């Protein structure tokens, strides 16, 4: 049997805990053997809670990256720190999984690409919603041509962020350090607002569906127009809490992304809807509905699964990519296109016009 992948976890906040649970669920294929957080208390608390006290705690990133007994890092840091951590990890020869968004600027995107290529390491971004079972099945059906030629894809990532409004910690008993929401209110460290943070999930889901619908043709967004607004999260102003984004793909497919922290607490019926010449699909975390034109009633599949399992399957996929040469679903290319789409949407809202999107994903 192959030895477990030894993982250094960087960032012991909310997502640090979620990822640590996901690594534990993937044992014995991988395990967290080291942790670094600028809050030593948080690093130690995570080690105790999630690794039975076994993982080593480092006091700086350089120390963790110099550890020869670490094969890969898992980066769960605030947004403005992603690029530097990925580049340093690659330069130290560590494979890297990094939370979304991959980084904040096109310059950072290019630096990550260079560092990953030069080091020959495996890099993946944490696009956990790609691992929702109904979405995986929908993408398989689109690839098989079930809907015929696809015309329209809609991706919804909406909810009400009352937790952030009330400054509630999403992790129980997290030792005191900067609150999970504090850096999100700083546009420099956040790099945007709701569209860049939660809207990022809806954006990569839209791109993933379009890629599956286009078969061998490498589809990509070619035009974007967006409207932003702030309806609930006053503390984010002038940043948005809601965005509506229209996307035209090279294939002719129209895409719509709706994302919000201001909508109701009740989850929307669908996270995605796809319309094609032969019928339509709609899905969420547990359900997928397919209706071909002419059917008297739709076919429905239901999975016994939960959103939390998307993080577990994301780690499983990272291990499959590393250990079994699986093609990474959340590659640099996929992440770069996602950031490009979001930056184009911000520019569209600012300049109040349609923004053309260049072929090179690290430019706009
Ligand atoms: N996929 C998802 O569903 C999802 C959900 C929430 C957050 N995220 C992403 O996870 C990442 C982390 O977000 P979070 O909510 O866990 O934030 P958080 O604030 O809860 O955790 C960040 C941790 O990083 C530590 N930290 C800050 N600066 C550091 C530094 N220079 N070096 C080392 N540690 C440092 C903090 O002490 C904190 O413990 C973000 O990219 C965010 O977008 C993803």
Ligand 1 midpoint to CA 290 (Å): 37
Atom number of ligand 1 nearest to Cα 101: 41
Task: Decide: 157 in ligand 1 pocket, CB within 6 A.
Answer: no
pLDDT digit string, tens, across residues 155-214: 999 999 988 888 888 887 888 878 888 999 999 999 999 999 999 999 999 999 999 999
Atom number of ligand 1 nearest to Cα 178: 37
Query: Mapping DSSP to helix (H, G, I), strand (E, B) and coil, where does residue 7 land?
Result: strand
Ligand 1 midpoint to CA 184 (Å): 10
Query: Against a cut of 0.85, is the pTM above it?
Result: yes
pLDDT digit string, tens, across residues 36-62: 999 999 999 999 999 999 999 999 999
Q: Which of 334, 345, 283 is nearest to 126 (CA)?
A: 334
Q: Identify the structural domains of the chain with CATH numbers, from first to last.
A: 5-126 (3.40.50.720), 129-306+316-356 (3.30.360.10)
Atom number of ligand 1 nearest to Cα 177: 37
Backbone angles phi, psi at 62, to 5 degrees: -60, -40
What are the strands of the beta sheet with 287-292, ordered from one edge?
299-302, 287-292, 279-283, 272-276, 150-158, 254-260, 242-249, 221-229, 355-356
Average pLDDT, 10 consecutive residues per value, the chain (364 residues): 92 97 97 97 96 97 97 98 98 98 98 98 97 98 96 96 86 82 94 98 98 88 98 96 98 97 84 98 97 95 96 98 92 96 98 98 96
Task: Decide: 177 in ligand 1 pocket, CB within 6 A.
Answer: yes
β-strand partners of 289: 282, 300
Backbone angles phi, psi at 236, to 5 degrees: -85, -15
Ligand 1 midpoint to CA 26 (Å): 21
Task: Decide: 202 in ligand 1 pocket, CB within 6 A.
Answer: no
What are the strands of the beta sheet with 123-126, ordered from one edge?
56-58, 30-36, 5-10, 72-75, 95-99, 123-126
Query: Mapping DSSP to helix (H, G, I), strand (E, B) and coil, where does residue 322 land?
Result: helix
Ligand 1 midpoint to CA 79 (Å): 8
Task: Decide: 38 in ligand 1 pocket, CB within 6 A.
Answer: yes
Alpha-carbon separation of residue 226 from 21, 109, 240, 270, 348 (angstroms): 36, 23, 12, 21, 6
Is the alpha carbon torsion for 257, 258, 260, 265 positive or negative? negative
Atom number of ligand 1 nearest to Cα 170: 20
* Cβ contacts of 73 within 8 Å, gap of 6 or more: 7, 8, 9, 10, 64, 65, 85, 89, 94, 95, 96, 97
């Amino acid at each position: 049997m192959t030895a477990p992948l030894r993982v250094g976890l960087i960032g012991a906040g909310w997502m640090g805990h979620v990822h640590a649970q996901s690594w534990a669920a993937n044992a014995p294929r991988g395990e967290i053997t080291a942790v670094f957080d600028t809050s030593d208390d948080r690093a130690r608390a995570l080690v105790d809670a999630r690794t039975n006290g076994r993982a080593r705690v480092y006091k700086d990133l350089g120390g963790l990256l110099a550890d020869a007994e670490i094969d890969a890092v898992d980066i769960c840091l605030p947004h403005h720190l992603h690029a530097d951590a990925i580049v340093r990890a690659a330069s130290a020869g560590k494979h890297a999984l990094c939370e979304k968004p991959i980084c904040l600027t096109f310059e950072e995107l290019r630096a990550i690409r260079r560092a990953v290529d030069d080091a020959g390491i495996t890099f993946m971004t944490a696009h956990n919603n790609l691992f929702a079972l109904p979405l995986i099945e929908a993408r398989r059906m689109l690839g098989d041509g079930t809907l015929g030629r696809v015309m329209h894809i809609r991706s919804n990532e909406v909810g009400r962020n009352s937790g952030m409004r009330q400054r509630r910690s999403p992790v129980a008993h997290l030792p005191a350090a900067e609150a999970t929401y504090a850096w999100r209110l700083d546009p420099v460290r956040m790099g945007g607002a709701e569209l860049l943070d939660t809207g990022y999930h809806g954006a990569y889901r839209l791109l993933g569906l379009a890629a599956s619908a286009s078969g061998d043709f490498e589809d990509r967004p070619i035009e974007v127009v967006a409207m932003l607004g702030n309806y609930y999260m006053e503390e984010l102003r002038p940043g948005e809490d809601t965005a509506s984004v229209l996307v035209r793909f090279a294939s002719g497919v129209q895409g719509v992304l709706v994302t919000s922290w201001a909508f109701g607490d009740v989850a929307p019926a669908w996270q995605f809807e796809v319309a094609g010449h032969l019928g339509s699909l709609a899905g969420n975390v547990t359900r997928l509905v397919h209706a071909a034109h002419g059917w008297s009633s739709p076919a429905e599949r239901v999975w016994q699964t939960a959103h939390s399992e998307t993080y577990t399957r994301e780690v499983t996929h990272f291990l499959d990519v590393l250990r079994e040469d699986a093609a990474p679903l959340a590659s640099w290319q996929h992440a770069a296109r996602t950031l490009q789409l979001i930056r184009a949407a911000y520019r569209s809202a600012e300049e109040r016009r349609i923004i053309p999107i260049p072929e090179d994903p690290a430019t706009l």
